[in-house]
C-alpha cells in the first residue's frame, strides 16, 4: 500500500475539503472499506475494496481478504457509499447555441452536473454541430463534463415549422440537415441514416408526424448501420404500440403514452382542477402496451420532473403530470424498464427526477438508482462498459456520505465523483 508523498497530500487536501473545486488524477487508486450499491448489489455490499487502474475498475474484494498492491494509492471510504455514475437520459444542451444554450452557460451546467455525480447524458435533439464539439471535449477531458451522447432528429416535414428546429439548424435549413431531417416515403433512408451517423450521433430521435411504416423503415435501416432509435411518445399518426412493434429502443415522456388509447385529451382535463380520484379514473389502461414493451425490452424515459415543474404554473401541464406519474407507476408495477431523464433545461438535475420516481411513481430507492445507472446505460447501449460496478467497467463512480436507500434525497450527499478514473470534488 502506498500512502505517502505528494499523493497523500493531494488526497488529504481533497478529502478534507481544502481544495474547493478540483479535478485530480491519482493513477492507480484503491477505494477502501466502501459500501457498494448498484443493480448487481440491490442489497448493499459493505467493506469492499475497489481497485481502479487508469480509467477502469480492475478488481473488487472484501476488505482484508487480500492485500492492496503497493502501487495503489488508498482512499479510505469507511462509512461511505459507492454508486455507478448517474446517467440523465434526457437533456437538451444545444437547442439554441446562439442564445440560451450559449457556450459559457452550457459549460457551467455541464460542470455542475459532473460534480453532482452525473457522468453521462443523452442529448435528445439540438444542434449536432455544437454537440459534436462538446462531446469531443468531454471525452478528451478538455472540459469538465459528463460524457455526451446525442441524437439526430427525424420527423415529418411539417414539424420543421417549430422554432426550436430553426435555432438548432441556424445558418442552414431545418428539415434538410443530416441531424434535423424531414423524412417522407421518398427519402433515401440508407443515405439519410449514413449522414445522421456522420454527425457523430449514436441514435435517431423520432419526433413528430411520422406514420408507422416510416418508423419501421427508419428502425430497419438504423439496425443495419448500428444506430439506436429513440422515440418521442407522441408521433402522430404512429402510436406508442407501433413504435414498440417497430423496435424503437426507448420512448420518452410518460404522459404522452395516453395517445396509445386517445386521439386527443379532453378539454376539461386541461382546464379545470380535479381530484386525485378523478385522475385515477381517467388514466387509460395501458397494460397491453406495457406487456409489449416488456417483450421488446422497450425502455420508458418517463421525464416526470419537467411536467412537475411546468404543472406548478399551468393546469394543462398539471394534467400531463397527473397522467404521467400514474402511467409511470403502472408501467413500473408491470415490470417495464424505466430510465431517468429530466428534459428540464438543467434548472434541476436528474437527482430531482429520482425524487419524482420514488415519491410519485412508487419506485423503491434501489430501483430508482438502477433507473439512473444501468437502465440509462441500456438506453444508450453502453451497458457492457457502464451502469454497474464491476471489474473491466469504466470507473465512472459516485461516492456518497449518506445511504440513498434510506432516503433517495441522500443521492445529493456527494463526497466526490470519479469519471474515467479521475477524481472530481467540489
Ligand atoms: Zn426533450
> How far is the centre of ligand 1, averaged over its atoms, from the C-alpha of 124 (Å)?
6
Domains, the chain, with CATH or none: 5-84+390-425 (2.30.40.10), 86-379 (3.20.20.140)
Q: Which residues pair with 232 in a beta bridge?
A: 252
CA distance 172 to 195: 16
Report how far ligand 1's centroid is from the alpha carbon of 345 (Å): 9
Q: Which residues contact 230 (CB under 8 A, 6 or more apart)?
A: 122, 124, 151, 203, 204, 205, 206, 248, 249, 250, 251, 252, 301, 379
Residues 258-275 as b/e (b if ≥16 CB within 10 A, e otherwise) read bbbeeeebeeebeeeeee
Give the torsion through C-alpha atoms of 62, 64, 69, 71, to 10 deg: 90
Cell numbers for 138, please give them. Answer: 468531454
Distance 92 CA to ligand 1 centre (A): 7
Residue 372: exposed, middle, or buried by beta-carbon count in 10 A (0-12, 13-18, 19+)? buried
User: What is the number of helices (H) and of strands (E) in the chain?
Assistant: 15, 19
CB 346 within 8 A of CB 340: no
The contacts of residue 107 (CB under 8 Å, 6+ apart) are 143, 144, 145
Report CA(91)–ligand 1 centroid distance (Å): 7
**202 CA to middle of ligand 1, Å?**
16
pTM for this one? 0.95
Cβ burial, residue 66 (10 Å; 0-12/13-18/19+): exposed
Tell how far the Cα of 396 is from the centroid of ligand 1, in angstroms.
Answer: 25
Instruction: Please tell me the distance from the alpha carbon of residue 115 to that of residue 414, in angstroms, as a whole number.
Output: 8
How do the residues of the chain divide into helix, strand and coil, expressed in percent and rounded to 5?
Answer: 40, 25, 35
CA distance 315 to 272: 7
Contact (Cβ atoms closer than 8 angstroms) between residue 395 and residue 56: yes
**What pLDDT is stored for residue 21 in this prediction?**
61
304 Cα–ligand 1 center, Å: 12
H or E stretch covering 413: none
Inter-residue contact 152 to 179 (CB < 8 Å): yes
Q: Give the CA distances from residue 80 to residues 77, 105, 115, 352, 390, in Å, rounded to whole numbers and listed in that order.
A: 5, 32, 17, 21, 18
Distance 394 CA to ligand 1 centre (A): 27
* 299 C-alpha to ligand 1 centroid (Å): 16
Cα of 15 to ligand 1 centre, how many Å?
37
Number of neighbouring beta carbons within 10 Å of residue 57: 22
For residue 126, how far is its CA from the centre of ligand 1 (angstroms)? 9
Distance CA 366, CA 353 (A): 14
Q: Residue 414: helix, strand or coil by DSSP?
A: strand
**Residue linked to cell 439540438:** 126
Quick check: 122 and 339 in contact, CB under 8 A? no
At a CB cut-off of 8 Å and minimum separation 6, what does 384 contact?
A: none
Closest CA to 353 of 66, 173, 87, 10: 87
- Per-residue CA distances from 164 to 59, 85, 356 (Å): 46, 30, 27
- pLDDT tens digits for the chain (426 residues)? 333 333 333 444 455 444 446 677 778 999 999 999 999 999 999 999 999 999 999 999 999 999 999 999 999 999 999 999 999 999 999 999 999 999 999 999 999 999 999 999 999 999 999 999 999 999 999 999 999 999 999 999 999 999 999 999 999 999 999 999 999 999 999 999 999 999 999 999 999 999 999 999 999 999 999 999 999 999 999 999 999 999 999 999 999 999 999 999 999 999 999 999 999 999 999 999 999 999 999 999 999 999 999 999 999 999 999 999 999 999 999 999 999 999 987 889 999 999 999 999 999 999 999 999 999 999 999 999 999 999 999 999 999 999 999 999 999 999 999 999 999 998
Q: What is the pLDDT of residue 233?
A: 97
CA 408 to centroid of ligand 1, rounded, Å: 24
Q: What separation in Å is there between the alpha carbon of 293 and the centre of ligand 1?
A: 21
Length of the chain: 426
- 392 CA distance to ligand 1 centroid (A)? 33
49: three-class secondary structure by DSSP:
strand
Distance 219 CA to ligand 1 centre (A): 20
Amino acid at each position: 500500500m502506498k500512502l505517502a508523498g505528494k499523493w497523500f497530500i493531494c488526497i488529504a487536501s481533497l478529502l478534507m475539503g481544502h481544495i474547493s473545486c478540483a479535478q485530480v488524477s491519482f493513477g492507480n487508486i484503491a477505494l477502501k472499506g466502501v459500501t457498494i450499491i448498484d443493480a448487481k448489489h440491490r442489497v448493499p455490499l459493505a467493506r469492499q475494496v475497489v481497485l481502479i487502474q487508469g480509467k477502469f475498475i480492475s478488481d473488487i474484494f472484501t476488505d482484508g481478504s487480500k492485500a492492496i498492491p503497493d502501487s495503489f494509492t488508498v482512499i479510505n471510504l469507511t462509512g461511505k457509499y459507492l454508486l455507478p455514475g448517474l446517467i440523465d437520459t434526457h437533456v437538451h444542451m444545444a437547442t439554441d447555441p446562439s442564445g440560451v444554450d450559449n457556450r459559457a452557460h452550457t459549460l457551467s451546467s455541464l460542470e455542475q452536473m459532473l460534480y453532482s455525480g452525473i457522468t453521462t447524458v443523452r442529448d435528445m435533439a439540438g444542434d449536432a454541430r455544437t454537440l459534436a464539439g462538446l462531446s469531443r471535449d468531454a471525452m478528451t477531458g478538455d472540459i469538465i463534463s459528463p460524457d455526451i451522447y446525442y441524437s439526430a432528429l427525424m420527423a415529418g416535414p411539417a414539424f420543421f415549422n417549430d422554432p426550436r428546429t430553426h435555432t438548432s439548424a441556424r445558418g442552414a435549413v431545418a428539415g434538410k440537415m443530416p441531424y434535423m431531417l424531414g423524412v417522407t416515403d421518398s427519402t433515401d433512408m440508407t443515405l439519410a441514416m449514413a449522414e445522421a451517423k456522420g454527425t457523430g450521433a449514436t441514435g435517431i430521435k423520432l419526433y413528430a408526424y411520422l406514420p408507422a411504416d416510416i418508423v419501421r423503415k427508419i428502425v430497419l435501416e438504423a439496425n443495419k448501420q448500428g444506430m439506436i432509435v429513440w422515440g418521442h411518445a407522441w408521433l402522430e399518426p404512429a402510436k406508442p404500440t407501433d413504435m414498440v412493434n417497430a423496435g424503437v429502443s426507448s420512448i420518452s415522456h410518460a404522459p404522452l403514452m395516453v395517445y396509445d388509447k386517445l386521439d386527443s385529451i379532453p378539454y376539461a382535463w386541461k382546464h379545470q382542477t380535479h381530484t386525485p380520484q378523478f385522475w385515477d379514473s381517467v388514466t387509460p389502461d395501458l397494460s397491453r402496451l406495457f406487456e409489449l414493451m416488456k417483450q421488446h425490452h422497450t425502455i420508458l424515459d418517463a421525464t416526470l420532473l419537467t411536467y412537475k415543474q411546468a404543472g406548478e404554473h399551468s393546469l394543462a401541464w398539471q394534467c400531463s403530470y397527473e397522467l404521467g406519474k400514474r402511467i409511470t407507476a403502472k408501467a413500473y408495477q408491470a415490470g417495464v424498464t424505466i430510465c431517468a431523464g429530466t428534459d428540464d433545461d438543467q434548472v434541476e438535475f436528474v437527482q430531482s427526477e429520482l425524487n419524482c420516481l420514488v415519491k410519485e411513481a412508487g419506485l423503491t430507492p434501489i430501483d430508482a438508482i438502477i433507473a439512473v445507472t444501468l437502465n440509462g446505460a441500456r438506453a444508450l447501449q453502453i451497458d457492457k462498459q457502464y451502469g454497474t460496478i464491476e471489474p473491466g467497467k469504466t470507473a465512472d463512480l459516485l461516492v456518497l456520505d449518506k445511504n440513498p436507500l434510506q432516503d433517495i434525497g441522500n443521492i445529493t450527499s456527494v463526497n466526490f465523483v470519479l469519471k474515467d478514473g479521475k477524481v472530481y470534488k467540489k
